Amino acid sequence: MLARLIDSHWAFRALLALPVIGMLVQFTQLHSWGLLINQSGEWAVRLLILTLAVSPLRIVMKQFHSGPHWPMWLLKRRRELGMATFLYAALHLAAYLVRQSNFHVVLFDLKLIEYATGWVGFVTLLALAITSNDASVHWLGLWWKPLQRVVYVSAIAAFLHWYLIRQDHIGLWLHLLPLVALEGYRLLYNFRHPAGVRH
């Protein structure tokens, strides 16, 4: 029973939905658009980090002979992680647009780098979400995998958006540094194993 629940994609999707349920319950109590914007943005970044961290974690665990079991479990659910990342980013954007409730204000904000980076992050995530299906994989062929690397543009834009929009950067570094360390390890591993299988 437990093994079936762990392997269930629907159970994993329900787990990914828990933060948004908490956010919406809190919003009905406090009616704070600012809080909803902040929380949804942070969860979008967390899930984006988790999506990017799957492959480096597999390498680390393999090197330390810990067994790549749960990173492999996550790898099979990376598409769902990516879609959840996009949906939290969409909630973040929707809450921002409702709070502004003025098209001219949104256009004015777009001229500012702190908001422009947010739009870049969302648009690239949108492109990834649209092509995150078997039909797109078949249609794009060899172009599909290079397109998926746009996720790094999404990550850079998201972190710049966070850095520029917030005055307190402690949370940003706590999120960013583990990912940088993992990606750095993966680059070093691939450099040292040029003839091996790239992860």
In the structure encoding, which two tokens stand for residue 39, read together?
A: 């929380």
Domain of 133, in residue numbers:
2-192
Amino acid at position 148, single letter: Q
Q: pLDDT class for 94, splitting at 50, 70, 90?
A: very high
In a domain, 178, yes or no: yes
How far apart CA 166 and CA 63 sit, in angstroms, is: 37
Question: What's the number of domains the chain is made of?
Answer: 1
In a domain, 112, yes or no: yes
In a domain, 132, yes or no: yes
Residue 82 pLDDT > 80, yes or no?
yes
| pLDDT for position 142 | 83
pLDDT cut 90: percent of the chain above it: 55
Rounded to 5 degrees, what are φ and ψ at 196? -85, -175
Which residues have CB under 8 Å from 5's CB, separation 6+? 11
Average pLDDT score, the chain: 87
How many degrees, rounded to 5, is the angle at CA 152 between CA 147 and CA 154?
90
Residues 76-88 have a mean pLDDT of 92
In a domain, 49, yes or no: yes
| pLDDT for position 74 | 77
Residue 34: HSE in the Cβ half-sphere, 13 Å Cα cutoff: 2
In the structure encoding, which two tokens stand for residue 127, read together?
A: 């492109």
In a domain, 198, yes or no: no
Residue 6: HSE in the Cβ half-sphere, 13 Å Cα cutoff: 7
How far apart CA 105 and CA 96 sit, in angstroms, is: 11
In a domain, 197, yes or no: no
In the structure encoding, which two tokens stand for residue 190, read together?
A: 């691939």
| pLDDT for position 109 | 94
Rounded to 5 degrees, what are φ and ψ at 193? -125, 65
Which residues have CB under 8 Å from 83's CB, separation 6+? 129, 132
Q: pLDDT class for 199, splitting at 50, 70, 90?
A: very low
Residue 52, class by beta-carbon neighbours within 10 Å (0-12 exposed, 13-18 middle, 19+ buried)? buried
In a domain, 199, yes or no: no
Compare 94 and 199 and report the one with higher pLDDT: 94
In a domain, 104, yes or no: yes
Predicted TM-score of the model (pTM): 0.88
